[in-house]
Structure 1
């Protein structure tokens, strides 16, 4: 069984696409800068650590409003 489970992760972030995006960005950041948000990790790999942080409520995402994004004129 995988830890954390996809069901528990989708309770934190509502779409698989967003989940993958957040986990990938955090994994890249962890690889470059050792900045742990949890005291202890089960996984030794960066993507697993990022997923554990999402499951632990340490990572989230927000959707930018149309007014927050720059226009491409």
Structure 2
């Protein structure tokens, strides 16, 4: 089973699109050298995995911006 589940992640965001955008932006920040916001048991996790876990834990949030 995949952890965290999509159902769990959808409780943190309002749409699948928003989830994908938030994970992608946070993963890019991690690749660029940002420190993880959660304690990772496995420091070898890929940036996308870390970003998903940060969103699931509530360490990363997002807000919609008007253009």
Q: Could you list the runs of 4 or more consecutive aligned residues of structure 1 that deviate by over 2 angstroms after TM superposition?
A: none
- Which whole-Å CA distance do the structure 1 matches of 2:37 and 2:8 have between them? 19
Aligned CA-pair RMSD: 1.6
Deviation at 1:34, TM superposition (A): 4.0
Count of matched residue pairs: 66
Q: Secondary structure at the match of 2:3?
A: coil
Q: Which runs of 5+ in 2 are unaligned?
A: none
Deviation at 1:41, TM superposition (A): 4.7
Q: Which runs of 5+ in 1 are unaligned?
A: none
